[in-house]
Amino acid sequence: MLEIGIKGKAESLVNEQNTAASMGSGNLEVFATPYMIALMEEASQRSVAPFLEEGQSTVGTKLSVSHDAATPLGMKVWAESLLTEIDGRRLVFEVRAFDECGPIGQGTHERFIIKKQRFLEKVEAKKV
């Protein structure tokens, strides 16, 4: 059952593929903000997935985060999520990111519970 307090975690290693220079979000060989955000979304999504009904998923709809410290190549990074609000199909998470030296980012993330089939049908209808 979905309940406030569910926690999640996702981790990665900073490499050439997830740097700001590679992503185009900057020109330095440091962990890219878009990848930090992706880790935050992954931690949130994974944390609630086991509690969803058959045929359901979640989609990210809103992020408000800061990227507060740079992380060099070769260092481990991870994001942690905490489900803080459930409002019908809307889920709100507190998200934080870290590297081996400490915090690197924080904020909030919102996701909505969707029915996969119906969602995909709406997406496909855009092609017409």
Is 109 in the active site?
Answer: no
**Residue 41 designated active-site:** yes
In the residue annotation, 58 being an active-site residue is answered as: no
Q: Which positions ≥6 away from 35 have C-beta within 8 Å?
A: 12, 18, 23
**19, 33, 58, 71: the active-site residue:** 33
Instruction: Say which of 41, 42, 80, 110 is annotated catalytic.
Output: 41
Angle at 52 between CA 47 and CA 58, to 5 degrees: 70
The active-site residue out of 19, 58, 67, 80 is: 67
Angle at the Cα of 8 (from 7 to 12), degrees rounded to 5? 155
> Which helix H or strand E contains 41, and what residues bound it?
helix 33-48
As annotated, the active-site residues are: 33, 41, 67
